[in-house]
Amino acid sequence: MSADLMSTSGWHAAWLPDEALAPLGRRVTAVDLTVVSASGAGPVVAAVVAEVRAATERSGGRLVLADDDVTAADGDVRPDLVLVLDPDAGLPAEGYAVERADGATRVTASDDRGLLYGFFHVVRLGEGAFDDALAAGTHAPAHAVRMLDHWDNVDVHDVMGQVERGYAGGSLFYADGRLRPDLRRVGAYARLLAASGVNRVAVNNVNVHRTEAHLLTDRLGDVVRLAEQFRPWGIRVHLAVSFAAPMTLGGLDTCDPFDPAVADWWADTARRVYAAIPDFGGFVVKADSEGQPGPFAYGRTHADGANVLARALAPFGGTVHWRAFVYDHHQDWRDRKTDRARAAYDHFTPLDGKFDENVVVQVKFGPLDFQVREPVSPVLAAMPRTHLALELQVTQEYTGHQKHVYYLPEQWSEILGWEPWADGRTVSDVARDVVAVSNVGDDRFWTGHPLAQANLYGFGRLAWDPALSPSDLLDEWVGLTFPGADARVRDVLRDVVLGSRATYEQYTAPLGVCFMVGPGHYGPGVDFYEYSPWGTYHFADRDGIGVDRTRASGTGYSGQYPEPWASTYESLETCPDELLLFFHHVPYTHVLHSGKTVVQHVYDTHTDGAARTVEMARRWEDVDGLVEPALYERVGELLAEQVRSAGEWRDQVRTYFWRHSGVPDARGGPLY
Ligand code: GCV
C-alpha cells in the first residue's frame, strides 16, 4: 500500500494514482501531431499532452512533442510510445489502433477523443503496453453515448437532500445553494470518467425543482463553468430540464407542445444555450412521471412533447433523452388489474417511429425500478424505429446504499448480453446509448464505499465494451487502483467483490419479488410497499406469494415480450426460478427447477447469504496493513453494517415466510 493512493488534494486517487501512470511515465513518449498542429488541436489533445508531461516529470521519462517524423524529431532519442493523431487514418470515431513494432508502441487515432482513450488504454495495460508480445488491434466503443446522469440538486431538497438517491455525501458540483466556487475536483472527476470511457454527463436531477430549472436560463453560467471542467476530457454536458419551463421560466401560460409560442421559446432558449456552450449535449427529460409536468396535461403524446424540444436542439446537433419511466404512482392496492410493470410499454410502444431523429427514449433496464432482479424491460425489444438508451443505476438505491458490497457489473453484463429474441441480438445491440445514474458525491472516496468505485469504473468500461467480463474488469480496476500491491490484495478483493450481487440477492427479496424494502429503500420492509400507492409487489397470503403477470390469468405483462420469452415467462414449467415470483403467484410449497420448495429456498438462501457476508467481512481483515489505513477502516466499518443488515433481512424474510406458510425450516434455523 502506498500513501499516494490518497492524493495531496484530499480526495482519493481512485483508479488513477500516480503509480498507475508510472510505467508510461518512466519512458519516452512522443506525441505526434503531424497533421493537426499542437496549438490547433484543442483542449482534449492538450489534456493528453499534459498527462504525459506530468507522468514523465514524476517518473523520470520524457515527452517529445513532434510535428513531423517523431523518431527523427529528437536526435537519437527513440520513443517507447508514440501517440499519433491523424484525421486521415480512417479510424472509427473515438477509436484507436494499437501496434508494437521496432521496440515502440504506437497508438493512432483519427480524432482527439480517440487519442485520449488510446492514452488511457496504455495506462490500463501498464508494463504490458511495452511488451513486444502486445497484440495489435483496433478499439472503438460499442456505444457512441456513454452517459452518467447526476441526480444532484443545487438547493438541498427537504426530503431527497443535495443528491437524490445519493450515498456518497454532497454534490461535487453544488453546495450552499450555488455552484461550488472551486471546481478543481470536478476536473479530477472528469479525468477519472474519461479513463473509464464515459463521454457525457447530465449535471442535475431529472426531478427539476425550482432553483435547478434556472440552470437552463439565468443560471446557465454555472453550466458553462461545469462544461469547462468536462471539455478537456472529451465529455459533453447535458441538462435535465422541466417540460413546464416555458411557463415557469418563460412566463407563457402554457407549455403545450403544439403552441407555436412554446416551440419558439424552446428554440430561442436552445440558441442561447449553444451560444454559451457550443458542444452542449442536450436535454434529459422526466415528463408525466412522479409529479413532473408533461404533455399529457394537453392531451399530447410523449412523441409530441419530445419532438418540440428535439426541434429546438436539432440545428445545433443536440439530443433529447426522454425517459420512458412513466407510470401511475397513485395506484390503489385494492385494484388488482393495474400493473406498474406494464406502464412503459403501454405508453411508449404505440409511439414507435414517431420520435424525431435526435430523440432517444431512455428506458430503465427493468419494467419497475432498478431492482436486484427484474426481467429486462420489454420496451427495449419493441421500438425498432426509435433510438433507445438503456438506463442503469450506479448509485445503489435498491442495492444497499453503498453500504453493502454489490458489484453491479455482474448484473449489467447479464442485462447487456440478454437476447430479447434469443437469436444472438442483444440488448447492447438494440440500445444505441447507455446511461446510468451516478454514484458519486463529495465523499473523500468519491463513492462512500471505496469498493463502489469499481461500479463506477465498470460502468464506463462496459458501456465501451459490453463483452468485458466482470471478473476481468475487477482485475483491471484493482490493478489500477492498487498498483504494486501485495498479491493478497487482489485475491481478497476478488473474494469479497465477485459474487456479491448474488449474495445480496440471496438475503434480500427472493425469486424476483420486488420492493421488499423499507423507508428510503434500505433494509427489509416486506410489506412496506404492499398497500402503498406506488404499486403492489408480492400479494402474499396464507397459501402463496407472487404476482400473476401471465396472459392466462394475470395482468398480461408476459405478453409484452417477443417469443420465445413470452411463452417462457408465461409457463410455470419454463419460467426461470429467479423470476418465478415476478411472473407467477404460487404456493409456498411449489417446487422450483432447483428441486427445492419456494419456502425452503427462501429459508436457505437467506441463511446462506447472510452467512456469506460474515465471511466477506472476515476475509477483508486479511488486507489489514496492505492497503491504506483509511480505506481499510472504511471498508471494514461498512462490511460490519452489511453483516448487521443482512442478518436483519434474513430474520425478517425467513420469519415472514414462516408465519405465512406455517412450513418449518427443514434445516432448522431460527424463526421468530
Ligand atoms: C429521480 C425512483 C427513485 C426516484 C427517482 C425516480 C426516477 O422512483 O426512487 O428518486 O427520481 O426513480 O428514476 O425518476
List for the chain the helix, strand, coil content (%; round to 5). 40, 15, 45
Find, among 238, 120, 240, 233, the residue nearest to 186 by Cα.
233
Give the distance (Å) from ligand 1 centre to CA of residue 158: 15
Whether ligand 1 lies within 6 angstroms of the CB of 464 is answered as: no
Q: What is the pLDDT of residue 177?
A: 96
Where residue 1 falls among pLDDT bands split at 50, 70, 90? very low
Check whether 9 has a pLDDT greater than 70.
Answer: yes
The answer, yes or no, to whether the previous bond of 587 is cis (omega within 30 of 0) is: no
Where residue 12 falls among pLDDT bands split at 50, 70, 90? very high
Check whether 125 has a pLDDT greater than 70.
Answer: yes
Average pLDDT, the chain: 95
Please state, as a whole number, how many other Cβ atoms lie within 10 Å of the Cβ of residue 187: 16
Find, among 567, 556, 519, 516, the residue nearest to 537 by Cα.
516
Whether ligand 1 lies within 6 angstroms of the CB of 286 is answered as: yes
Give the distance (Å) from ligand 1 centre to CA of residue 271: 30
Check whether 73 has a pLDDT greater than 80.
Answer: no
Whether ligand 1 lies within 6 angstroms of the CB of 164 is answered as: yes
Mutate to test the pocket of ligand 1, among 290, 395, 397 (most ligand atoms within 8 A of CB): 290
pTM over 0.95: yes
What Å distances lie between residue 230 and 186, 190, 193, 321, 639, CA to CA? 8, 5, 9, 19, 34
Give the distance (Å) from ligand 1 centre to CA of residue 90: 42
How many Å apart are CA 601 and CA 609, to the nearest integer?
12
Find, among 395, 207, 374, the residue nearest to 288 by Cα.
207
Give the distance (Å) from ligand 1 centre to CA of residue 211: 19
- Least confident piece of the model among 54-63, 267-276, 335-344, 353-362: 335-344
How many Å apart are CA 609 and CA 603, to the nearest integer?
10
Question: To 5 degrees, how large is the angle CA 534–CA 536–CA 542?
Answer: 155
How many Å apart are CA 315 and CA 272, to the nearest integer?
12
Active-site residue (options: 152, 391, 397, 651): 397
Mutate to test the pocket of ligand 1, among 152, 165, 292 (most ligand atoms within 8 A of CB): 165
Active-site residue (options: 149, 288, 339, 369): 369
> Tell me: the pLDDT tens digits for 565-598?
999 999 999 999 999 999 999 999 999 999 999 9
Please state, as a whole number, how many other Cβ atoms lie within 10 Å of the Cβ of residue 553: 10
Question: Which whole number is the average pLDDT over 72-91?
Answer: 83
Grid cell locating 634? 472504511
Q: What is the pLDDT of residue 4?
A: 42
How many Å apart are CA 18 and CA 31, to the nearest integer?
20
Check whether 444 has a pLDDT greater than 80.
Answer: yes
Under 8 Å between Cβ of 463 and 416: no
Q: What is the pLDDT of residue 69?
A: 46
Q: Which atom from ligand 1 is nearest to the alpha carbon of 205?
A: 1
Dmax (CA) for the chain in angstroms is 85
Check whether 517 has a pLDDT greater than 70.
Answer: yes
| 290 belongs to the catalytic site | yes
Contacts of 492 (CB under 8 A, 6+ apart): 619, 620, 622, 623
Whether ligand 1 lies within 6 angstroms of the CB of 212 is answered as: no
Whether ligand 1 lies within 6 angstroms of the CB of 150 is answered as: no
Query: Ligand 1 atom 12: the closest Cα is on which residue?
Result: 369
- Amino acid making up residue 334: R
| 397 belongs to the catalytic site | yes
Whether ligand 1 lies within 6 angstroms of the CB of 403 is answered as: no
> Tell me: the pLDDT tens digits for 305-346?
999 999 999 999 999 999 999 998 999 999 888 999 999 999
Secondary structure class of 275 (helix, strand, coil):
helix
Contacts of 608 (CB under 8 A, 6+ apart): 506
How many Å apart are CA 182 and CA 178, to the nearest integer?
11
Percent of the chain with pLDDT over 90: 93
Check whether 473 has a pLDDT greater than 90.
Answer: yes
Whether ligand 1 lies within 6 angstroms of the CB of 151 is answered as: yes
Give the distance (Å) from ligand 1 centre to CA of residue 62: 49
H-helix segments, 508-628 = 565-570, 580-583, 598-620
Q: Is the Cα torsion angle 164, 168, 171, 177 positive or negative in sign?
A: positive
Q: What is the pLDDT of residue 75?
A: 57
Give the distance (Å) from ligand 1 centre to CA of residue 404: 20
Whether ligand 1 lies within 6 angstroms of the CB of 651 is answered as: no
Check whether 2 has a pLDDT greater than 50.
Answer: no
640 secondary structure, DSSP code: H
Active-site residue (options: 57, 127, 253, 290): 290
Mutate to test the pocket of ligand 1, among 152, 369, 398, 438 (most ligand atoms within 8 A of CB): 369
Question: Which whole number is the average pLDDT over 503-525?
Answer: 97
Question: Which whole number is the average pLDDT over 598-602?
Answer: 98
Give the distance (Å) from ligand 1 centre to CA of residue 290: 8
378 secondary structure, DSSP code: G
Contacts of 269 (CB under 8 A, 6+ apart): 216, 217, 245, 249, 250, 312
Give the distance (Å) from ligand 1 centre to CA of residue 381: 23
Whether ligand 1 lies within 6 angstroms of the CB of 369 is answered as: yes
Query: Ligand 1 atom 3: the closest Cα is on which residue?
Result: 165
H-helix segments, 60-161 = 70-73, 112-125
Give the distance (Å) from ligand 1 centre to CA of residue 110: 39
Interior/surface letters 457-481, b for 16+ CB within 10 angstroms, e for the rest: bbbbbbbbbbebebbebbebbbbbb
Grid cell locating 70? 517523431
- Amino acid making up residue 123: V
Q: What is the pLDDT of residue 536?
A: 83
Whether ligand 1 lies within 6 angstroms of the CB of 529 is answered as: no
Whether ligand 1 lies within 6 angstroms of the CB of 206 is answered as: yes
